[in-house]
Amino acid sequence: MKLICTACSESYPSDLAVQRCSCGEPVELELIRASIEHGNVWERFGGFFPYLSKEHIRNFSLGEGNTPIVEIPSLSQQLDNQIFFKNETQNPTWSFKDRGTLTGVVRAVKLGFSRIGTVSTGNMAASVSAYGARAGLETTVLVRQDIPEEKIYPILIHGSRLIEVDAHFGEIYRKSLEIGERKGIYFINSDDPFRVEGYKTIGFEIADYFSFNPEIDYIVVPTGSGGLLRGIMKAFRELKASELIREIPEFIAVQAEGCSPIVSAFEKGLDEVGSIDNPETIAGAIADPSPPSGNEILRILKKGGRAIAVSDNEILEAQDMLAREGLFVQPASAASLAAVKKLREDGMRDKRIICILTGSGLKVPSAAEKIVKKREKLKIQKTSIDNLEKIL
């Protein structure tokens, strides 16, 4: 099998630890054609993961994937579109990152690495730390200096080595790959080709749920580095190449206004994504100031699809709407519903839409606090035991 550049089509043998093309753009594993078996998502779609054995799943999986798709008719009605939610909060470390971490860890082990790492402050750091512990690998997490304290312990608890680096996020990303190569550390970063491979399972599960005739108009994807959107897209491309579906749905990449380099480039019709100096948003999980797969996202969206930005207020409002329906997601995830709401205001009607709810609300307690404090009635009441009956 080959790794192929998403931009210039240069190819590399897949037994080399190539993570980016010499032209600077991301590489991906060549398109795989397969058929479908029985079992869980890794088994059913095993043909699309020829590098993954049953042994790998037994040794490294924490039960990622197989997440529910939830339809909430009242929200669909309110927003004049049929909306389905892919609930990725139900993964082992409460975000979709686990799907790609599993394939990334297998990749690292197969290449003979005993040390892995990642560059992240949030969900990916927690995920790689958990899977690193599961696999018995030495795990290094590189973060920026301004990491909030609430994010530190979910990383350290798995025994990872946590290093604060005084640099921009994009710089740490590039350096990690360079140093990793010399030091024998496989950095499973945001758009590592095998991390992206794992994300394909989301696309397979969606197609499966709709019996391979999804007739979906849009898949709405909260987008930071671009890895997630690339993975779901690759799943649909492979299903089409295997003649299992007829149409590839269009994608909507959603970013937060306070950090939307992909949206800016898309709106200006550019081929290359620039970088943002001071990202400022409550949706930290999608605030990637220089998205390493940004140009590839532009290449994908140009063939059909769009990119939109939503404000922090719109995000919090959407998070509130979802919470009122029983879904507690983090701000980055609520951005998907915020985008649908915004598009509806621009006249979008009667579309079938999938919103990817990427991660759990428990990850960002401060956002929940903001929402609750805005709602008058949500307070703790106190009473003596004698007075309890009266206030009830």
Ligand X SMILES: *Cc1c(COP(=O)(O)O)cnc(C)c1O
Residue ranges in contact with ligand X by CB under 6 A: 95, 97, 122-124, 190, 222-228, 285-286, 288, 330, 332-333, 358-359
Closest to Zn ion by CB, 7 vs 69, is 7
Alpha-carbon 74 to chain mean position = 26
CA distances from 300 to 7, 116, 218, 246 (A): 11, 30, 14, 18
Closest to Zn ion by CB, 1 vs 23, is 23
Contact assessment for residue 197 and residue 29, using Cβ atoms and an 8 Å cutoff: yes
x/- mask, Zn ion, residues 189-208, rule CB under 5 A, reads --------------------
Q: Binding of Zn ion at residue 3 (CB under 5 A)?
A: no
Residue 392 has a CB neighbour count (10 Å cut-off) of: 7
Residue in this structure with the two tokens 């690193």, named with its chain if needed: 132
**Binding partner of residue 5 among ligand X, Zn ion, none, CB under 5 to 8 Å per kind?**
Zn ion
Indicate the pairing of strand 185-187 with strand 161-165: unpaired
Least distance (Å) between residue 10 CB and Zn ion: 5
**Binding partner of residue 8 among Zn ion, ligand X, none, CB under 5 to 8 Å per kind?**
Zn ion
**Binding partner of residue 21 among ligand X, Zn ion, none, CB under 5 to 8 Å per kind?**
Zn ion
- Which range binds Zn ion by CB under 5 A, 1-9, 66-74, 220-228, 377-385? 1-9
Rounded to 10 deg, the angle between the 312-324 and 331-345 helix axes is 100
Per CB under 5 A, contacts with Zn ion among 7-26 are 7-8, 10, 21, 23, 25
Angle at 8 between CA 6 and CA 13, to 5 degrees: 70
Closest to ligand X by CB, 207 vs 357, is 357
**Binding partner of residue 227 among ligand X, Zn ion, none, CB under 5 to 8 Å per kind?**
ligand X
Q: In whole angstroms, what is the distance from residue 28 CA to residue 11 CA? A: 9
DSSP H or E segment with residue 80: none
DSSP H or E segment with residue 55: helix 54-60
When CB distances to ligand X are compared, the closest residue is 359
Closest to ligand X by CB, 36 vs 368, is 368
Closest to ligand X by CB, 46 vs 193, is 193
**Binding partner of residue 314 among Zn ion, ligand X, none, CB under 5 to 8 Å per kind?**
none
Least distance (Å) between residue 100 CB and ligand X: 8
From the list 376, 371, 365, the residue with the least C-alpha distance to 318 is 371
From the list 60, 362, 303, 366, the residue with the least C-alpha distance to 198 is 60
